[in-house]
């Protein structure tokens, strides 16, 4: 058993390198590989082999974590396709999108300050729905191999995810 650390995550699990993946196949491939590389199986081997097995196990876990989440998978796929998703540098989102984000955040802030749990749950629902439609856009863009558009959508999803975390945090704070 050995793992080629140069392989990309898709190849590691024997999956085609595309956004739409078979989640069942990913899961099955992950469990099979995880069993192979588990440190316990290499406990009787010399240090160098154990270290290498540890590296493989880490790689397999990281690959699985990346591919199972749509946004992480999208960012990774863009990276291996050589497209800079501009997370650190691209601040010029569309004005309408940013305005909408501002309004969402204001609504969350107000609901949190006013202790309105029902309103936060409503925002949570609405945002999830919105997130699903954005994910559908992303799927279509990858299917059409429009990687620049996909990068733009992935950037938007970063904001949506952050917002979702903010709402969860606000709900937790109010419920505790």
Partner 1 sequence: MAYSEKVLDHYENPRNVGSFAKEEEGVATGMVGAPACGDVMKLQIKVGKDGVIEDAKFKTYGCGSAIASSSLVTEWVKGKTIDQALEIKNTQIAEELALPPVKIHCSILAEDAIKAAVADYKKKHEG
With beta carbons less than 8 A apart as the criterion, state whether 20 and 139 touch.
yes
Nearest distance in Å: CB 166, partner 1: 8
Nearest distance in Å: CB 111, partner 1: 14
Compute the distance between CA of residue 30 and CA of residue 139 in angstroms, rounded to an integer: 23
Nearest distance in Å: CB 99, partner 1: 6
With beta carbons less than 8 A apart as the criterion, state whether 38 and 59 touch.
no
Closer residue to partner 1, CB minimum distance, 15 or 93 = 93
Compute the distance between CA of residue 43 and CA of residue 40 in angstroms, rounded to an integer: 5
Select from 132, 108, 130 the least CA-distant residue to 120: 108
Nearest distance in Å: CB 109, partner 1: 8
Closer residue to partner 1, CB minimum distance, 36 or 119 = 119
Closer residue to partner 1, CB minimum distance, 117 or 158 = 158
Per-residue b or e along 10-20, where b marks 16 or more CB atoms closer than 10 Å to that residue's CB = bebbebeeebe
Nearest distance in Å: CB 101, partner 1: 5
Closer residue to partner 1, CB minimum distance, 43 or 95 = 95
Q: What is the DSSP letter of 92?
A: -
Compute the distance between CA of residue 93 and CA of residue 123 in angstroms, rounded to an integer: 22
Through-space distance between the first and last CA atoms of the chain, rounded to whole angstroms: 48
Nearest distance in Å: CB 154, partner 1: 8
The residues that touch partner 1, with contacts defined as CB under 8 A, are 85-93, 95, 97-99, 101-102, 105, 109, 154-156, 158-159, 161-163
Residue that is written with structure tokens 């990346």 in the block: 66
Residue that is written with structure tokens 């240090």 in the block: 47
């Amino acid at each position: 058993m050995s793992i080629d650390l140069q392989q990309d995550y898709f190849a590691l699990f024997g999956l085609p390198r595309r956004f739409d993946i078979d989640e069942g196949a990913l899961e099955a491939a992950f469990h099979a590989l995880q069993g192979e590389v588990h440190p316990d199986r290499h406990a009787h081997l010399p240090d160098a082999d154990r270290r290498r097995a540890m590296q493989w196990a880490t790689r397999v876990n990281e690959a699985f974590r990346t591919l199972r989440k749509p946004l992480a998978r999208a960012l990774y796929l863009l990276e291996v396709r050589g497209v800079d998703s501009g997370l650190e540098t691209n601040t010029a989102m569309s004005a309408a999108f940013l305005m909408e984000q501002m309004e969402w955040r204001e609504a969350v802030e107000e609901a949190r300050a006013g202790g309105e749990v029902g309103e936060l749950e409503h925002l949570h629902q609405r945002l999830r729905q919105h997130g699903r439609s954005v994910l559908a856009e992303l799927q279509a863009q990858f299917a059409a191999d429009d990687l620049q558009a996909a990068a733009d959508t992935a950037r938007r999803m970063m904001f949506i995810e952050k917002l979702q975390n903010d709402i969860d945090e606000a709900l937790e704070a109010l419920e505790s």
